[in-house]
Copies of this chain bind each other. A is one copy, B any other.
């Protein structure tokens, strides 16, 4: 009983990884491939989110953490439960049926969807069992089930979240330049900011700390590195009750 899977409840994890080099916000997905018994026909060939059934004795948060760990080896990443998906037909697209038959899924499975924020470079894709791949959130491959929909809803939630809370720093290395932060905001939100205004705004925050270090190995003026202090942020944080409707 204790470690049994609940057959009709899963968690699905949208893993967002930012690649500072290519300036791309990516999503980690897993290859799904199935041939007919004779091997003459490819039945399923696309990607899916990583997810798994929730265990009987496990909280939803713990399930999501477990799935992320199995997928990436990482723990302690920023995690948010953002929505449950449970349409009766969410798993029953024609192209999903052979897969479901093969895997023995329950056709009416509700999934609790989480998203995680981390850095692409933190994940080692080589030494891993499944075939996993990063795709830019703006250029997703063909996805199984309702997973494109889930990713896009996660992305919408992230857009709103990053305007109100300093989650952006979860996607950046510990030491970053102001322009990297700006690039990331722009990449997530799809809009451009004035560099001088953006820079001023960030540098004025007490929790954005200039460190005594500069970029190395770049063939241009090396830029100042900063870090984000969560401690200071928490200390000086105060709810802003500005009504903007």
Chain A residues proximal to chain B, CB less than 8 Å: 6, 8-9, 54, 56-60, 81, 83-88, 108, 110, 112, 160, 162-166, 168, 185, 189, 191, 201, 205, 240-245
Other 16 A-B pairs with CB < 8 A, given A60-B86, A84-B112, A242-B244: A6-B8, A9-B86, A9-B110, A59-B86, A59-B88, A60-B84, A60-B85, A160-B164, A162-B243, A163-B242, A163-B244, A163-B245, A168-B245, A185-B243, A189-B241, A205-B245
A84 and B81 alpha carbons, distance in the complex (Å): 8
24 of the cross-chain contacts (CB-CB < 8 Å) are A6-B8, A8-B9, A54-B110, A56-B88, A59-B87, A60-B84, A60-B110, A81-B83, A81-B84, A84-B84, A84-B112, A110-B112, A162-B243, A163-B241, A163-B244, A163-B245, A164-B244, A164-B245, A166-B245, A168-B245, A185-B243, A189-B241, A191-B241, A242-B244
- Are A112 and B88 closer than 8 Å at their CB atoms? no
